[in-house]
Amino acid sequence: MIDRRKFLAASAAATVLGAAPALAHKRGEAYVLPEEYMPREVRIRAEFEPGIVIVDPNQYALYWTMEDQRAIRYTVGIGRGNLYHDGEFYVGRKVEWPDWRPTPDMLERNPDGFSQFLEGGIYEGIPQPGGINNPLGARGLYLFNVRSRRDTYLRIHGTNNPRTIGVAVSNGCARLINPQVEELYARVPMGTRVILYPKAGAGPAHSEV
């Protein structure tokens, strides 16, 4: 089980960690990603080895750890409500401009919202091709279960909608704007350890992996 208190202590030791971001623009207005949402280098505690991905949903932050107790901090969008899943995973697949299809859980929660994927009420399984309008954006890091070695359907991926950064909006995945996910994708090799820390006040949908 992940020790959230240990991670929060490490977060407090970082040189730059502000309050959780929030949207400051109304729909219909031109949106510019706030400067504080841009990647920046921070200090981390020594117990975090270089070369891992850490997500702190309570700060809407993703860290790529490096040598000398340094990390690059990205601002991300995370899973809404109880759809965020904490645990330890690894990158089992990397895809440029990935295709996308709703998971069975997504179809069960919102069949009307994904009706274009159904034929006579039956899921056809035909994916939406990769591209700028695809929900996974420019890059996808596929998270696999460390025990079963199977795909969890959790992703760290891109988006062309910057309004969804710094908020809990997704179906469980962590998202970055496309230029930032392209940068992260280039840094993160296959097999990388990924730690998704618990969300404060989360319900039973969380998993312990």
Segment 187-209, tens digit of pLDDT:
999 999 999 999 885 443 333 32
pLDDT at residue 5 tops 60: no
Residue ranges with strand state E in the chain: 40-43, 53-56, 61-66, 70-75, 78-79, 87-96, 118-119, 122-123, 139-145, 151-159, 168-170, 174-177, 193-196
User: Which whole number is the average pLDDT over 49-64?
Assistant: 96
Nearest CA-CA partner of 151 in 209, 87, 65, 93: 93
Residue 18 reports pLDDT greater than 90: no
Average the pLDDT over 46-56 and give the result: 93
- Catalytic residue positions? 157, 173
* Out of 10-14, 24-28, 164-168, 200-204, least confident range: 10-14
Nearest to 171 by CA among 97, 94, 78, 62: 78
Give first-to-last CA distance, the chain, whole Å.
Answer: 7
Could you report the per-residue pLDDT of 150-175, keeping only the tens digit for each?
A: 999 899 999 988 999 999 987 778 99
Contacts of 27 (CB under 8 A, 6+ apart): 163
pLDDT at residue 1 above 60? no
Query: 10 Å Cβ neighbour count for 196?
Result: 28
Query: pTM for the whole thing?
Result: 0.75
Question: What does the pLDDT read at residue 82?
Answer: 78
User: Confidence band (pLDDT; 50, 70, 90) for 133?
Assistant: confident
Say how many CA atoms lie within 13 Å of 163 toward its Cβ.
9
Q: Residue 109 pLDDT > 70, yes or no?
A: no
Which pLDDT score, from 0 to 100, does residue 203 have? 40
- Domains of the chain (ranges, CATH numbers): 4-19+36-196 (2.40.440.10)
Q: For residue 66, which phi and psi values (nearest 5 degrees)?
A: -135, -175
